[in-house]
Amino acid sequence: MTREQLPSTNRGWSSGMLATEDWWAVWIGLAIFAASLASLGGADLVGWMARPRPWEWTDLTRAFAWSKLFAPAGAGYASWHPLAAFAATYAIFTALFAFGARSLRLGVRRFVKGFTVLFVVTWAAWIAGNELHLTMVDAAVDGRNRYSDAALSWGLQLGEGAPYLLALIAGLAIGNFAKEFAAKHLGEAARPEWYIKTAIVFLGVNLGAQTMEASGFAGELILTGAAATFVAYLFFWPIVYTAARRMFGFKRDVAAVLASGISVCGASAAIATAGAIRAKPIIPVTVSMVVVIFAMLELIVLPGAYTAFAPDQPIVNGAALGMTVKTDGADAAAGALLDELMIARNLQLTGQQWQDGWILSASLLTKIWIDVFIGVWAFVLAIVWIRKVEKRGGAVRIGPMEIWFRFPKFVLGYFLAWGVFFAIATSWPALAPTLDAGTAVVQSPMRTMLFMLTFVAMGAMTDFSKLKGMGKIALLYGLALVVVIAPIAYAVAYLFHRGLTPPLVTP
């Protein structure tokens, strides 16, 4: 029996703690967060992280310097050569993820090779995306127009969304025009869910900082996110299930798996539902392939569309995205892109700059609540299926531990990071500024880099040609998305969040 074929069954509450991406996202995320907390004792253990800088190409070609492109993020590391910071960033993140990959029984050499390619593409997109002609917005902020200051003759004015778009384009180019290379060299490391879940643990630190700044707003986002759960499970699911059965003639098990994949939380829900009703694994495999491709289409279309059509409804757009886009990776990536595009657009239109992260939080908190309940939903569905559909209640029994096995563990890391930040800041208010400054590297460049890595990895594993032959399933997905999910999600988000805007950046 090879390493890949070794049984990996969930037997007890601690199963998989060292053997699943989900748990390793928690360990890596919390380990880096813990290192950043050393700042409370005066030590900066994370300032080695490299951070891209805004640059302009004529200026760079006139007098090239690495320091114009990126620099160490921590003030204590300012004397480091930029390439030393880049090397440290590569070495430390590669080591952390390779260590995790070893526990996941992946081929470590192949993982490191693939990770290295993704890392280089990520950084190339990140650096290129910080060129001023792509990012700079023509607007006066606090009486100063940096677009005019830079004397730009033209600009796309995409704000910080530009690097994300470049990362997405680069990933999709690899996934669709270099398929053999992607399959042979990147398969082991193209794990967008692992990277995004680690980034989401970092976002817990952001949520802590946001809660300190506007606790009422953060609380409202959390509560309304919980309300969205009912929409996904009690509105979307029955509608899509009924459509799959009545309009498309799918069998019960296929319809149930499709309904979960399309309306709840994507591939994760499709697998959980298929397991709950004990469907043949080929069903969730097929549905998941379609979900991943449609999630990419949603990621490409929705952030730009929402920004264009409703530039004054940032939180509505974020929450609607959270209910509409499936898979954690695509939802968080779409939320991050929407966050940056909306901030840039609002700056163009009003000259006011919203704080970043709030629109992303609106999207993510909505999605996280939906994720949390997938275990409960699958458990209920399993009982209904055994008793009412298969009518085998006396012969087959499902244990409540199934809820825990299906619980998304990265959520624990997210809320733990938030809770620790919030507890320290509220228990020792004098330490709050040091805490915020010390964890700033985790909140911004580290989190952004993992988002960028997610964009590239998602693109690299998305092959649009796989939609061929998926006829009825793809048609149902498209119809459900356009006719049911997107409109209802937007209406519900509008009901809860209309008029809400993020706090403004203070000078």
Report if residue 395 touches other proteins, rule: CB under 8 A. yes
Q: How far is the CB of 389 from other proteins (least distance, A)?
A: 12
**Strand 144-145 relative to strand 140-141, pairing:** antiparallel
**In the range 436-475, which residues lie near other proteins by CB under 8 A?**
461
Identify whether the C-beta of residue 326 lies closer than 8 Å to the C-beta of residue 298: yes
Cα dist. 174→111, 459, 465 in Å?
Answer: 17, 7, 13
CA torsion angle 96 99 101 102 (round to 10) = 180
Work out whether 21 is an interface residue with other proteins (CB under 8 A): yes
Distance, in Å, from the CA atom of 382 to the CA atom of 389, rounded to the nearest integer, reads 10
Kindly state the number of chain residues that form the binding site for other proteins, as judged by CB under 8 A. 44
Whole-number minimum distance, CB 202 to other proteins, in Å? 18
Under the binding rule (CB under 8 A), the answer on residue 204 touching other proteins is no
| Selected range binding other proteins among 169-177, 209-217, 264-272, 467-475, rule: CB under 8 A | 264-272
- CB-neighbour burial class of residue 434 (10 A; exposed 0-12, middle 13-18, buried 19+): middle
Instruction: Find the part of the chain contacting other proteins (CB under 8 A) among 2-10, 55-63, 210-218, 487-495.
Output: 2-10
Q: For other proteins, which residue of 132, 271, 456, 493 counts as binding (CB under 8 A)?
A: 271
**Residues 371-390 within binding reach of other proteins (CB under 8 A):** 382
Tokens of 289: 């392939």
Three-point CA angle 139, 145, 146, nearest 5°: 105
Residue 193 interacts with other proteins (CB under 8 A): yes or no: yes
Strands 70-72 and 50-52, by their bridges, are antiparallel
Report the nearest approach of other proteins to the CB of residue 270 (Å). Answer: 8
Residue 231 found at the interface with other proteins (CB under 8 A): no
Distance CA 129, CA 107 (A): 32
Q: Does 401 bind other proteins (CB under 8 A)?
A: yes
- According to CB under 8 A, which one of 288, 307, 317, 501 is a site residue for other proteins? 288
When asked if residue 12 is in the footprint of other proteins (CB under 8 A), the reply is no
> What's at 221, amino acid-wise?
L
Q: Quote the least distance from Cβ 297 to other proteins, whole Å.
A: 18
- For other proteins, the closer CB: 54 or 107: 107
Q: Cα–Cα distance between 219 and 493 in angstroms, integer?
A: 16
Q: Does 254 bind other proteins (CB under 8 A)?
A: no
Residue pair 471/99 in contact (Cβ under 8 Å)? The answer is no
Please report whether residue 185 would count as binding other proteins according to CB under 8 A: no
Query: Smallest distance, Å, CB 414 to other proteins?
Result: 17
Part in contact with other proteins (CB under 8 A); list of ranges 162-170, 401-409, 425-433, 465-473: 401-409
- Told to check if 53 binds other proteins by CB under 8 A, we report no
Q: Pick the stretch among 50-58, 188-196, 206-214, 236-244 that binds other proteins (CB under 8 A).
A: 188-196
Out of 88, 169, 212, 398, point to the residue binding other proteins (CB under 8 A): 398
Q: Does 331 bind other proteins (CB under 8 A)?
A: no
Dihedral of alpha carbons 115, 118, 119, 120, sign: positive
Nearer to other proteins, 246 or 391 (CB): 391
Question: Does residue 153 belong to the site contacting other proteins (CB under 8 A)?
Answer: no
Nearest to 231, CA basis, from 485, 403, 483 = 485
Place of tokens 């969304």: 161
Residue 456 beta carbon to other proteins: minimum distance, rounded to whole angstroms: 15
Task: Give residues with Cβ within 8 angstroms of 342, minimum separation 6.
Answer: 306, 307, 311, 314, 317, 354, 359
Residue 307 touching other proteins (CB under 8 A): no
* Burial of residue 281 (number of CB atoms within 10 Å: 0-12, 13-18, 19+): exposed
Closer residue to other proteins (CB): 105 or 498: 105
Neighbours of 467 (CB within 10 A): 17
Q: Which residues 6+ apart lie within 8 Å of 416 measured at CB?
A: 26, 30, 204
Q: Is 173 in the site for other proteins (CB under 8 A)?
A: no
Decide: helix, strand or coil at residue 217: helix
11/179 with CB nearer other proteins: 11
**Max intra-chain CA distance, the chain:** 79
Residues in the chain: 507
CB 165, min distance to other proteins, A: 24
399 binds other proteins (CB under 8 A): yes
Q: Is 506 left (phi over 0), alpha (psi -120 to 50) or beta?
A: beta
For other proteins, the closer CB: 37 or 267? 267
Residue 463 beta carbon to other proteins: minimum distance, rounded to whole angstroms: 12
Query: What does the binding site for other proteins look like in residue numbers (CB under 8 A)?
Result: 4-11, 16, 20-22, 187, 191-194, 266-268, 271-272, 274-276, 278, 280-281, 284-285, 288, 327, 382, 394-399, 401-402, 405-406, 461
